[in-house]
Amino acid sequence: MAVIAYDLGASSGRALVGRLSGSRIEVSEVHRFSNDPVQVGNRLHWDILRLFHEMKQGLLKAKQQGIQPESIGIDSWAVDFGLIGKNGELLGNPYHYRDSHTDGVMEKLLEEIPSADIYSRTGIQFLPFNTIYQLLAMKAADSPLLRDAKRFLMIPDLLRYFLTGDMHNEFTNATTTQLYNPIKGEWDAALLRRLDLPAAWFGPVLQPGTPAGQLRSSLAAELGTGSVPVIAVAEHDTGSAVVAVPATERSFAYLCCGTWSLMGTEVDQPILSPLALDLNFTNEGGAAGKYRLLKNIMGLWILQECQREWASSGKVYTFPELVAMAEQAAPFTAWINPDDTRFLRPGGMQDRIRGYCEETRQPVPSEPGAFVRCILESLALKYRYVLRQTERLTGSRFSGLHIVGGGIHNTLLCRWSANAVGKPVWAGPAESSAIGNLAMQWIAQGQFKDVGEARAAIRDSFSLTVYEPEQTDVWQNAYGQFLTITGLAE
């Protein structure tokens, strides 16, 4: 039984075909495409129509291979959205979460509404690009899009609407807006009123694994595919990735590693305690009624930006070359706090790292290998910091750390992460978001009875690489220095 998962990341997207053979999962890629943000004047946008075009190309390529999918699912990044007008058309290209129009908006709102009030209603980590601040930035700019808007759709919701003509909001992505109340299980009407955001924009919320329409007849005719059901999967890509964590324990820690690093655990109910607010953890919706208690960490974005800068100056390095240079660079020389806000925006990343090191009176990296080592060591040590916070919040002691996502190909980071956390790291699968997307479609079709059965099939279908901790005393000492330099307190 073949199903298609569209897995859209911040820099690329792909269409993958999944097949079940007994309890084993087989995955093949039929189409891959770039996802290039577009700067227009002072604004940074997603090229949403290009993404939809590429999704259609994925269906065409599947058809050319003789594949008639039983269903389709979409997952993507969170927080960004499109607005639909009264005629059912998209109003403008969605803004990119790294656009600067949200600068200062979060701080201004928190002067008017206490953070504890917002957190008790939403349970979401305070990040300057959250949907709530994007909408308030548009209000402050008197955006005509808001005046004409009739419906609000997150990126997967929007692309699903393009496919089906049906408008639905999906749970895992809805929770990331900082406008959804996890205790009431609905959009927070009181918060929307206080912010003067029309409740009518926000539709009923579908749980992952829910049928959400059929391919439009006009689109089916255009592509020659026939009618295909579309499933609302766990549409936040991290939500899908967590479905694919091949854990055997009920309580486990995960790290979804890619452009962003998202570390946390699954919980039955959101944790909205003063400590969770103080640690700025987020409670995002998950599959099967679970919540993802996690922390967003800046991730490999910092390295990707440096790599882009080197390439633009004519120094093109492959990732294995960068890793080799990092291994040859002097260890434990300089660190950054990856979540310092200076590292959020694109451009000038090496200068920002230099500036951070100068301000903290550390040696300043000068060669690519030193930059890479600084970034990867800092990420590994930040993972230890967040893992300890997660254990403190939940009262759990995790036996190791599951790492999923494309970041597992960075074997040096996996190895150093095991050293830093002092526990085994189990790396895999790499295509976790797409695999979780496929799994939720099969659950919707009754092929798996639940997420637990899907995870068992994932364990049987994909190999893991185990990294045992080494040099733990050396990394323990480095961790203490890292905390001092970054000003982080346990």
In the three-class reduction of DSSP (H, G, I as helix; E, B as strand; rest coil), residue 46 is classed as coil
Among the listed residues 237, 268, 460, 473, the single catalytic one is: 237
Q: Which residue has the tokens 């997952």?
A: 75
Decide if 383 contacts 478 (C-beta within 8 A): no
Beta bridge pairs of residue 43: 40
Residue 237 bears catalytic tag = yes
Decide if 91 contacts 82 (C-beta within 8 A): yes
Beta bridge pairs of residue 45: 38, 95
Separation of alpha carbons 34 and 44, rounded Å: 16
Which secondary-structure segment (H or E) carries 310?
A: helix 301-312
In the three-class reduction of DSSP (H, G, I as helix; E, B as strand; rest coil), residue 13 is classed as strand
CA distances from 143 to 16, 137, 139, 290 (A): 37, 9, 6, 36
What b/e sequence results for 477-488 when a residue is b if at least 16 CB atoms lie within 10 Å of its CB, and e otherwise?
Answer: ebbeebbebbee
Separation of alpha carbons 265 and 292, rounded Å: 6
Q: How many CA atoms lie within 13 A of 342 on its CB side?
A: 13
Q: What is the CA radius of gyration of the chain?
A: 22
Angle between helical axes of 472-486 and 368-394 (0-180°, round to 10): 90
Decide if 426 contacts 237 (C-beta within 8 A): no
Please list the active-site residues: 237
